[in-house]
Structure 1
């Protein structure tokens, strides 16, 4: 059975490991150094320990297989990590749908996120689920202490009513 729940403090270590495995896979196109890995592990550990209230966890039969976060409880998805051993099984789609519903319920009309421009798997995943690219830039990533090509993506969650007059 698949469930989505809020993270607990005691999830921090496991969520850090899921994040690291997914991050390392995503970084294969960028390359990594020992310092980058140390910085990323530290960032994941710090966030999952201190920011657990912002994290949603997706589980399969009670075992976490991914997690995502909105650090400011706004329209921005700041983290989205599915364990590579559990990719392409629908968990990401379910987790994203849950996040989008939370964003809608919070009163926001769109969801936003950023990802590495060269992480084609992530870009394709989000585009297939209705996100579009708004911008491309070079952004400093403190987790890895490196400038990275980044895309900003968004998805309209609430359709605006057409204000134009129509006799029909």
Structure 2
């Protein structure tokens, strides 16, 4: 993967006066190892980077519990690529030591997408993006942050629980047989 520059002045969030997060130091395993995580707005030229992180994360997570026909359909229809190309202006990237580690799409106060590259899981990238989402939602006047997870996505459910999200409601999944979609909410301080 390519390390990218950090300016985000053309991003709609920046134009609206919302400030992206700066450097966020985080510790990870290893003797005295320190990881630097930088959250920045995505730029239009980042669409391939967004797609690469989404794709790697999708294959390492959703592809393990989604029906094969659904996974094949996502890959054949280029849904991930289309989303990256059309919604880049709602996206943020967490770089781990200069490498893209996780990406997030934030629409108002709804985390529509949060994908962590398998090589960067448990290094703080997703947490840095959620911290940023909380700040952005509060700056936009919201008192909650919302998102959805599949019931079978136990790793994500546990991550969000530890981050203070509670299940607001559930519904049957229309994509995964015998699974549910958990709608989660977190009250923001302030």
**TM-score, length-normalised on structure 2?**
0.73
Task: Provide the aligned C-alpha RMSD in A.
Answer: 1.9
Is 2:188 the counterpart of 1:139? no
Q: 2:140 aligns with which of 106, 110, 113?
A: 106
Q: 1:27 aligns with which of 36, 58, 62?
A: 62
Instruction: Check whether the contact 1:5–1:57 (CA below 8 A) recurs between aligned residues.
Output: yes
CA–CA distance in structure 2, aligned partners of residues 35 and 128 of structure 1? 29
Alignment of 1:81-96 (within 5 A): 81-96=115-130
Distance 1:42 1:98, change over 3 A: same
The answer for unaligned runs of 5 or more in structure 1 is 160-168
Alignment of 1:108-123 (within 5 A): 108-123=142-157
Instruction: Check whether the contact 1:29–1:118 (CA below 8 A) recurs between aligned residues.
Output: no
- Counterpart of 1:65? 101
Deviation at 1:135, TM superposition (A): 1.4
Instruction: Check whether the contact 1:29–1:119 (CA below 8 A) recurs between aligned residues.
Output: no
Q: Aligned residues, how many? A: 153
- Counterpart of 1:50? 86
Deviation at 1:139, TM superposition (A): 3.2
Partner of 1:123, secondary structure, is helix
Q: Deviation per CA, 1:56-88: give whole Å up to 9, x if none.
A: 101123321110012xx3111100001011001
Q: Deviation per CA, 1:113-157: give whole Å up to 9, x if none.
A: 00111101000001001001111211335xxxx565210110000
The answer for unaligned runs of 5 or more in structure 2 is 1-35
- Counterpart of 2:40? 5
**TM-score, length-normalised on structure 1?**
0.82
CA–CA distance in structure 1, aligned partners of residues 53 and 163 of structure 2? 22
CA–CA distance in structure 2, aligned partners of residues 124 and 96 of structure 1? 14
Is 2:113 the counterpart of 1:79? yes
